[in-house]
Amino acid sequence: MTAAATVARAGDPTSLVGRTVHVKVPATSANLGPGFDTLGLALARYDELEVSATDAPRHEIEVHGVGEGQVPLDESHLVVRAIAHAFARVGVEMPRLRLVAHNSIPHGRGLGSSGAAIVAGVMAAKGLLDGIVEFTPDELLELATELEGHPDNVAPALFGGLTIAWMTPEGPRHKKLIVHRGVSPLVLVPEHEMSTALARSLQPESVPHSDAVFNVSRSALLIAALIQSPELLLQATEDKLHQHYRAQAMPETDRLIRALREAKHPAVVSGAGPSILVLASDPSERADAVRVVEASADTAWQALPLAVDFKGATVTIVSEPER
């Protein structure tokens, strides 16, 4: 977060008034089976926002699509909180904002909607501060992880593709990888939600050493399977660190994953659930998985065939202040 000499001038929030930025952020699926709090995949379903710096007396917030009529329309809105966090970290006073969101990432389903909102805020701040403060990729990840608590959703939302994210004493770091072109994700979304906090509360403090070794082997294999050898995805998505501890809180998810895996489809809980991610090796396997869902599900599931997003979050300046 290298503040240029112009920050002192920009400390006056009125100097930003009139700038509008457009932000687009993909959905994400975290964990991918064995890669708890580490692996994540960006998916081609997006929240889009326009954010303007204004001199209005208060923030003006409009939400369309997912979350409309449900999320707060004041400074407690997660995107506004993330913008405020970024401005505070670089010591620039945040102007009043006009924010118009068009959301399509389902909330509370394990598809990274909170991570996407945080990344949207961080990217909006980057756009609003463009030419005044520069942010490195590591700094964007750090700002987003500070709010999200773990980096596995915010890394793919920021950078796209498959990401490995890890924590260091200097902050979170990531490596982006390009997924094999055969990999054909299918996301199954139930009608009910699941709280990430509840899911995390079901995790034990410690796990057997043999389970840790099991997950180390599968996580390493999963990288090879996703970038080079999709035929290994069924074995590579096995996990002993989180899914069975959480199964009691999402029995429908657990049942459907068992049915899909028995039919040889690499199905895992998406993030903290309750959605399911099937990492099919090709589009025809994905169609077979949909048939398993139709035959075995005891509740309604929305089947979303989603491409991998390779680009990650984008921000563009739509208009500039009049000088």
- Least separation in angstroms between CB 118 and ligand HSE: 11
- Least separation in angstroms between CB 200 and ligand HSE: 5
What residues make contact with ligand HSE under the rule CB under 6 A?
30-31, 36-37, 150, 152-153, 196, 199-200, 271-272
The three-state DSSP-derived secondary structure of 263-294 is CCCCEEECCCCCCEEEEECCHHHHHHHHHHHH
- Least separation in angstroms between CB 197 and ligand HSE: 9
Q: Which of 37/285 has CB closer to ligand HSE?
A: 37
Helices (H), the chain: 7-10, 78-90, 113-128, 137-148, 154-159, 196-201, 209-227, 233-236, 243-246, 251-262, 283-296
Dist CA 159 CA 157 (whole Å): 6
- Least separation in angstroms between CB 193 and ligand HSE: 13
Q: Which of 20/270 has CB closer to ligand HSE?
A: 270
Q: Which of 267/272 has CB closer to ligand HSE?
A: 272
- Least separation in angstroms between CB 113 and ligand HSE: 10
Other residues' Cβ atoms within 10 Å of the Cβ of residue 259: 17
Closest-CA residue to 111 (of 223, 258, 270): 270
Q: Which of 133/306 has CB closer to ligand HSE?
A: 306
- Least separation in angstroms between CB 273 and ligand HSE: 8
At CB < 8 A and 24+ separation, what contacts does 89-93 make? Answer: 89/1, 89/143, 90/1, 90/3, 90/7, 90/129, 90/133, 91/3, 91/7, 91/11, 92/3, 92/7, 92/10, 92/11, 92/13, 92/129, 92/132, 92/133, 93/11, 93/12, 93/13
Q: Which of 22/246 has CB closer to ligand HSE?
A: 246
Q: Which of 77/150 has CB closer to ligand HSE?
A: 150
